Amino acid sequence: MTAVPDNSPGQRTRRRPSRLSRGFVVAVPYLWLLFFFLLPFLIVFKISFSQTAIAQPPYLPVIGLADLVSGGWTKLRQLTIDNYTWIAGDPLYVKAYLSSLRMAAISTALALLVGYPVAYGIARAPRSIRSLLVMLTILPFWTSFLIRVYAWIGILKNEGLLNQLLLWLGVIAQPLTILNTDVAIYIGIVYSYLPFMILPIYASLERMDHRLVEAANDLGCPPTRAFWAITFPLSLPGVLAGIFLVFIPAVGEFVIPDLLGGSSTLMIGKTLWDEFFSNRDWPVSSAVAVVLLMVLVIPIMIFQRLQARQEGAV
């Protein structure tokens, strides 16, 4: 006997809360992005078209919601693109952007070289200790980010632990100058963001069917060739996710270059800080932030669209 679905009004009433709950769950992330990303970005975007002024806040015109409601649209005519013209014509900002992209790319490559073997080792470890290894990977996050960066000052300075160890081993005759150099910045960024590289790669490798590698070995494929033909392509989603998670925050990093790189370090995050707090030039600093966001977001969107087209063509 075939069961007849119950379409009674009571049954439909009982189904309705589940639909509302699903809609609420879907709406929460969008509301979060709206209030904590889009609205702040629009405020910064609006300030980037303003002019610096000795006032509070230090820019003009100040356009609020009340002005728009009361018909104060004439203030919009006072907005200008001079801040963007200034950034494009000043070599300092161009060099800061290029230097930040270069240092972030090198740091991301180093993080990948260090993080991939670690993730591979965790994925191939016995299941009984994988959770422990993952916990050890995220253990640094239990300590303050600022304290961890300060700790590297004591390690990398001329009288630090690293130089003392190398002198004791006889590797060097004089202390190495590592602090306040680009090398120190690379070390700080790789150390700080290495878990963001390891965890996505580990997630991809852990889901991989390792029987494919075993089958390749049984057919006479060398381990190195099997890795590049099977393991690495299957882990590419995790590799790309790790690259984005490390590269994007590294471009705008301020704390690590300021503490480990010294005053001569030229990165856009440090330049943005100086414009906002030292020079009190909110319009220029807002324009710098908007350009930085465009530099990062637009290539990523183009890459994701091309990747989606390739996946759809397969």
Domain parsing of the chain, residue ranges: 87-313
The per-residue pLDDT for range 131-180, each reduced to its tens digit, is: 999 999 999 888 888 899 999 999 999 888 999 999 998 888 898 888 98
Query: What is the reported pLDDT for 102?
Result: 94
Inform me whether the pLDDT recorded for 197 exceeds 60: yes
**Averaged pLDDT for residues 76-83:** 79
Rounded to whole angstroms, the Cα distance separating 28 from 39 reads 16
- What letter represents residue 87's amino acid? I
Structure tokens at 127: 């299941």
Report the chain's C-alpha Rg in angstroms.
26
Query: What is the reported pLDDT for 23?
Result: 77
Taking alpha carbons only, the member of 231, 179, 223 closest to residue 201 is 231
Structure tokens at 8: 């009674």
Q: Is the model more confident about 64 or about 110? A: 110
Query: What is the reported pLDDT for 70?
Result: 60
Least confident of 219-223, 285-289, 307-311: 307-311
Domain 87-313 maps to which CATH number in 2.40.10.10, 3.40.190.10, 1.10.3720.10, 3.40.50.1100? Answer: 1.10.3720.10
What 3-state DSSP class applies to 252?
coil
Query: What is the reported pLDDT for 193?
Result: 94
Inform me whether the pLDDT recorded for 8 exceeds 60: no
Average of per-residue pLDDT values in the chain: 85
Structure tokens at 88: 């494009």
Least confident of 167-176, 252-261, 295-304: 295-304
**59 CB neighbour count, 10 Å cutoff:** 22
Query: What is the reported pLDDT for 74?
Result: 65
Q: Is the model more confident about 109 or about 280? A: 109
Least confident of 70-79, 226-235, 248-257, 290-299: 70-79
pLDDT band at 16 (very low <50, low <70, confident <90, very high): low
Rounded to whole angstroms, the Cα distance separating 285 from 287 reads 5
Query: What is the reported pLDDT for 30?
Result: 86
The fraction of the chain above a pLDDT of 90, given in percent, is 35
pLDDT band at 19 (very low <50, low <70, confident <90, very high): confident
Structure tokens at 21: 């709950």
Q: Is the model more confident about 284 or about 53? A: 284
Query: What is the reported pLDDT for 59?
Result: 81
Q: Is the model more confident about 67 or about 52? A: 52
Rounded to whole angstroms, the Cα distance separating 177 from 209 reads 47
Q: Is the peptide bond before 29 cis (omega within 30 degrees of 0)?
A: no
116 contact partners, CB below 8 Å, separation of at least 6: 197, 201, 235, 239
Inform me whether the pLDDT recorded for 310 exceeds 70: no
Q: Checking phi first, is residue 262 left (phi over 0); if not, alpha (psi -120 to 50) or beta?
A: left
The per-residue pLDDT for range 113-137, each reduced to its tens digit, is: 999 999 999 999 999 999 999 999 9
Query: What is the reported pLDDT for 25?
Result: 80
